[in-house]
Amino acid sequence: MGEPTESRSTAGESMSDYGPVPPAGSSTAGKSTVSKSTVSKSTVSKSTVSKSTVSKSTVSKSTEGEQAGISALSGAPGESGSALMNTYFPPRITFVEGEGTYLLDSEGKRYIDFFSGIAVTSLGHSHPVVTEAISCQASKLMHVSNIFGNGLRDDLAAEINKLVCAGRSGSAGQVFLCNSGAEANECAIKLSRKWGNPARFRIISTQGSFHGRTLATWAATGKSAGSLSFAPLPGGFDFIPYNDIPALEHALASPDVAAFLVEPIQGENGIVVPDDGYLHAAREICDRYGVLLIADEVQTGIAKTGEWFAFQHDGILPDIVTVAKALGNGMPVGACWASREVASSFVPGDHGSTFGGQPLACAAALATLDVMQDIDAPARAIAIGRAVNAMLEDADGVSSVRGRGALLGIVLERDCAKQVAETALDWGLVVNSPRGDVLRIAPPLTINELDLQQGLEILAGTISRVAGHEA
């Protein structure tokens, strides 16, 4: 097989045109628009499945998670002389500019970005509408204390409430604005304990989960189970197997349980999708035992899965929803939504954030949500997912493609995802390996057909070279 086709555009060209992705069912979804010699299996199934079948043994091959995946894009650990704390591996490359689907490094090389900063820049880099909103707001008012109003905070909360409650007349909630997913989950944990106080305090989450790196969210993270690095962790957190309804029923029957905290799709565990009906069953069990259902939508939220939030695929409404990442398209902003009944547990002074809901972040988030709705972002995510499945599900070295919409895990036939990610980076494509046998991709929802096709050809060729039958 030939070498994968490197990203060919030059630094002086327009980096993206924000053109349309292939429409659902389009005959171009699996058809090469670049060089056909770069893919070992250019003719694949035309399947339009946006959710792939997942084995229930999805936790067994987990690596050290997000940090291990990011290490595939980084150099070896060691002394670098940096003034930064040693919390990330030294980077192999340094990005200095981005536009649309493309990134530019300090050496002038361009990359197609299928990683989106861990599923953050869903509108691509430097989207003109978001950039203009940030610039305009920065020239007027960047920050003011939450003791005062700022003219944008309530608008953003209303937009988030509208999207969470989409299609549910009479449903309404309230929103706490913060700066990150971990903070949103901290708020959810604290709120659920205040709601259940004093009898209900335990939080049930799942093995293989990831909810953040603060002490409380790390204690709630299934991937941290058994870790003594930060002992003693806060108590009151227990874990059950993911996608196991009998285990959930048994755990929630205990009268001291306040909430079940769950990712609709486990991101850091390798894009693990539960069986159809899992969240619907969780909603019913939570209702039966008077337990709150918390949906951690930090990675899955804001259209990436083909709905505004992944829980909407199951036709339910959780009691609490957390979101961040794509909410500001790169501007740090997070949110914790709760039903009015649950949110009323908080009173002034119970929770807060200096920067949460500040005007600059709100302006970026409002612009992001406006563009997302204008372009029908959920439909774009579905079209991207179909194109990826058509190109990769039968490709050499690929065992399966799983996920929903544009948040996808490429399961390899061998444990070599890190090597594939490193090789793809050499060839001008940014992907991630959250565990040894899985590549994670989350392309911008604004990606055009040519860039999507070229990136998939690089990825298919790289997988074949590293993980294929002739590797």
Q: Please, which residues bridge with residue 260 across strands? A: 204, 293
Q: How many residues does the structure list for the chain?
A: 471
Nearest to 88 by CA among 67, 69, 57, 106: 67
d(CA 252, CA 295): 16
Q: CA 221 to CA 223: how far, in whole Å?
A: 5
Pairing of strands 110-113, 429-430: parallel
Q: What's the start-to-end Cα distance of the chain, in Å?
A: 10
Which of 185, 222, 186 lies closest to 297, judged by CA?
185
Would you say 363 and 382 are in contact if contact means Cβ atoms under 8 Å apart? no
- As to burial, measured by CB atoms within 10 angstroms (0-12 exposed, 13-18 middle, 19+ buried), residue 128 is middle
- Rounded CA gap, 281 and 119, in Å? 27
The three-point CA angle 412-413-415 to 5° equals 75
- With vertex at residue 320, the alpha carbon angle to CA 289 and CA 149, rounded to the nearest 5 degrees, is 145
Considering Cα of 210, then 273, then 116, then 299, what sign does the dihedral take? Answer: negative
3-state secondary structure of 389: helix
What is the spatial distance between Cα 405 and Cα 60, in angstroms, rounded to a whole number? 25
Q: Which residues are catalytic?
A: 210, 296, 325
Q: Could you count the other beta carbons within 10 Å of the beta carbon of residue 282? A: 25
Q: Which helix (H) or strand (E) holds 258?
A: strand 257-262
The CA-based diameter of the chain, rounded to the nearest angstrom, is 65
Say how far apart CA 72 and CA 416 lie, in whole Å.
11
3-state helix vs strand vs coil in the chain, percent to 5:
35, 15, 50
Nearest-CA neighbor of 210 among 267, 264, 248, 260?
A: 267
Matching residue, tokens 């993206």: 16
| Distance, CA of 189 to CA of 319 (rounded, Å) | 12
Return all residues near 262 (Cβ < 8 A) that are at least 6 apart. Answer: 205, 206, 209, 242, 279, 282, 293, 294, 295, 296
